[in-house]
Amino acid sequence: MSAPHVVVIGAGSTGSATAHDLALRGLRVTVVERGEVASGTSGRNHCLLHSGGRYCVTDQDSARECIAEARILDRIMPDILERNGGLFVALNESDLAFKDRFMEGCEACGISAREIPIQTALKMEPFLNPAALAAVEVPDGVFEPFHFCLAFLATAKANGAVVRTYTEVMELVTEGRTVTGVGVRDHRSGVSSTIGADMVVNAAGPWAGKIAAMAALAVPITPTPGVMVTMDSRLNNMVLNRLNRPSDGDIIVPQRATSIIGTTSWVVEDPDLIPIPVEHVAQMLASGRELVPAVGQVRVRATVAVARPLVTRAQADSRDVSRTFECFDHSADGLEGLVTISGGKTTSSRAMAQRAADVVCAKLAITAPCTTQTTPLASYRSFYQ
């Protein structure tokens, strides 16, 4: 008997990592993606490889997940990471007052954090606001989001997975109360067809709700956009964060030859086309200048808004929603054969994939363990071969 067939919907970071995990466990995997790899939320990423420092006070589950995953990614995809560390910088009394809680939080989550003299910080980051009052160094990093997804998918393909880009899911095919496949339209050929599946994984990010709705299910996922402003120069080597609770415009992520200021947070209905609020851009530039005054001297190269797929719980403010992830086995809703994996961050996508694959394998009686923690990924360049 051949291995069970799993269809993964979405070739963003979660879907890509899930396909990789399942293929490693010996399953037959088909990934369907309506656009290019990483053409949705994952591509338009802030590129931040979280040390967990950002969440160590407000959301310690996320923080622990981040530091563990950052260490794993460092082993399996070292070539597509800039591991230069990050600084949490205090600019006022309120920030300073937060420092002790921050240090405690880092310690509680196992994140190595150390305060460095401000003169040292200014030598490392000469464009940092010279009026900074304190700086704490953490092991933050930066990744290349497109290559991140390509590397997972290239490895999955090497292990037998099939990746069908420009193939859009039009319906979930059900028999009774079981999902038995997906109806897709292949935009390359214009042909509609059905792909049979023993299990379907919904990894459509902020669009996961739309997929679930095809089976008349609701998932508590809120498309929550953020605005990022990319400058046309790189003004910092390390990630620069404001030393305080996460808020709007409190982080500047350097990447390649740019610095990316982020981010804001609001809620939309339709993540397909998100208008960028002009005041958000102005706000990013203003708060970016607080951390790095030279932001005012360079030009804006691009402004981007993209929806995070946040899993909503009881809280009202989108900033307070936990950034950790959730795996929904829809048999709890009375529908077999469908699993939704959502929430989280790119940094945690490998762990999300592991959770989703564990659920899928348990349901398919596959006992192979997860080995993604220790399997180095293939070159992103091999994806297109």
Partner 1 sequence: MTAESVAVDLEVLRYRPGEGSRLENFSVQVAKGTKVLDALDAIWATLDHSLMFRRACHHSSCGACAMRINGRERLACVTQVAEAAEEHQPIRVEPLHNLPVVGDLVVDVAGFFARMTASDLVITRSAEPELPVSVDPLPASLSLRQVVVPEDLDRFIRFESCIECGICVSVCPSMAADDGFLGPAALAGIHRTREATGDATESAHLLALADGDGGVWRCHSSFECTASCPQAVDPAGRIMSLRGQILARRWGRMWGR
Site for partner 1 in 28-47 (CB under 8 A): 34-39, 42-45, 47
- Which two tokens mark 286? 């203003």
Which neighbouring-strand residues pair with 327?
341
Q: Which is nearer to partner 1, 108 or 191 (CB)?
A: 191
Instruction: Write down how long the chain is.
Output: 385
Phi, psi at 370, each rounded to 5°: -75, 130
Q: Which is nearer to partner 1, 50 or 147 (CB)?
A: 147
Q: Which 288-347 positions form the footprint of partner 1 (CB under 8 A)?
A: 294, 297-299, 301-302, 304, 306
Quick one: which segment of 57-65, 230-238, 245-253, 311-319 binds partner 1 (CB under 8 A)? 230-238
Map residues 76-115 to x or -, x wherever contact with partner 1 holds by CB under 8 A: --xxxxxxxx------------------------------
End-to-end Cα distance, the chain: 29
- The answer to the question of residue 237 lying near partner 1 (CB under 8 A) is yes
Q: How far apart are CA 203 and CA 219, in angstroms?
A: 12
- The answer to the question of residue 372 lying near partner 1 (CB under 8 A) is no
- The answer to the question of residue 256 lying near partner 1 (CB under 8 A) is yes
| Size of site (CB under 8 A) for partner 1 | 74
- The CA–CA distances, whole Å, from 175 to 29, 180, 211, 225, 379 equal 21, 6, 17, 36, 40
- The answer to the question of residue 235 lying near partner 1 (CB under 8 A) is yes
Closest separation in Å from C-beta 113 to partner 1: 13
Q: Which is nearer to partner 1, 101 or 301 (CB)?
A: 301
Q: How far apart are CA 162 and CA 204, in angstroms?
A: 17
One residue of 110, 126, 160, 376 binding partner 1 per CB under 8 A = 126
Give the single-character DSSP code of 369: P
One residue of 168, 248, 329, 358 binding partner 1 per CB under 8 A = 168
Closest separation in Å from C-beta 385 to partner 1: 6
Fill in the amino acid letter for 302: A
- The answer to the question of residue 233 lying near partner 1 (CB under 8 A) is yes
DSSP string, 121-189: HHHHSTTS-TT--EEEEE--EEE-HHHHHHHHHHHHHHTT-EEETTEEEEEEEEETTEEEEEEEEETTT
Contacts of 362 (CB under 8 A, 6+ apart): none
Q: Which is nearer to partner 1, 176 or 190 (CB)?
A: 190
- Which two tokens mark 111? 């994140």
One residue of 94, 108, 120, 247 binding partner 1 per CB under 8 A = 120
DSSP-derived 3-state class of residue 79: helix
Closest separation in Å from C-beta 286 to partner 1: 16
Q: Which 44-83 positions form the footprint of partner 1 (CB under 8 A)?
A: 44-45, 47, 78-83
Q: Which 200-219 positions form the footprint of partner 1 (CB under 8 A)?
A: none
Phi, psi at 227, each rounded to 5°: -100, 135
**Is residue 38 left, alpha or beta, with left meaning phi > 0 and alpha meaning psi from -120 to 50?**
left
Closest separation in Å from C-beta 272 to partner 1: 4
| CB of 233 closer than 8 Å to CB of 244 | no
- The answer to the question of residue 258 lying near partner 1 (CB under 8 A) is yes
Closest separation in Å from C-beta 254 to partner 1: 8
